[in-house]
Amino acid sequence: MSRQPSGRSSARARDAIPAGSDGLADELAAIQMARERLGDDLDRLNEEVRAQMGQTLENAAWKLAVTVSAVAAGIMMRKTVTAAWKGVRKTDPPSNPADRNTGWPDALAWAAASGLAVGIARLLATRGAAAG
């Protein structure tokens, strides 16, 4: 179904119908105007839906970028903290701080060091992605 551009088409529809044809002209003009309004409403709705879809895709891309950067920063920082632990303590960090064979001081120190470092790295990565 082709639609005429809005504005002048309602005037053309009224001019094309002879006046005084027992009220039919008024009904046809009203139908034409309703069609034009419907077409305009559909055009506006289409524009709004496209804008919403663009925002949704943009938000999804943003969330993906933040997640990837935070995970990468966490992995890199964990490796850095492990290397620092080995350099300072001359032993491997506890692989499972909850294990009974791990002493409390080592478990607490490793949990504090790795948690703080990874948390800061994730924060920096997230804020860096927001700045970019």
* CA torsion angle 97 100 102 106 (round to 10): 60
Query: Which helix or strand (DSSP H or E) is residue 121 part of?
Result: helix 104-131
Residues 87-120 have pLDDT tens digits of 998 988 988 888 888 889 988 999 999 999 989 9
Q: What pLDDT does 21 receive?
A: 57
Q: State which amino acid sits at residue 96.
A: N
State the pLDDT confidence band at 80, using cuts at 50, 70 and 90: very high
Q: What pLDDT does 67 receive?
A: 86
Asked if residues 109 and 49 have their Cβ atoms less than 8 Å apart, the reply is no
pTM of the model: 0.53
Q: What pLDDT does 55 receive?
A: 86
Residues 26-67 have pLDDT tens digits of 888 899 999 999 999 999 999 999 888 888 888 888 888 888
Picking from 2, 37, 39, 30, the residue whose alpha carbon sits closest to that of residue 13 is: 30
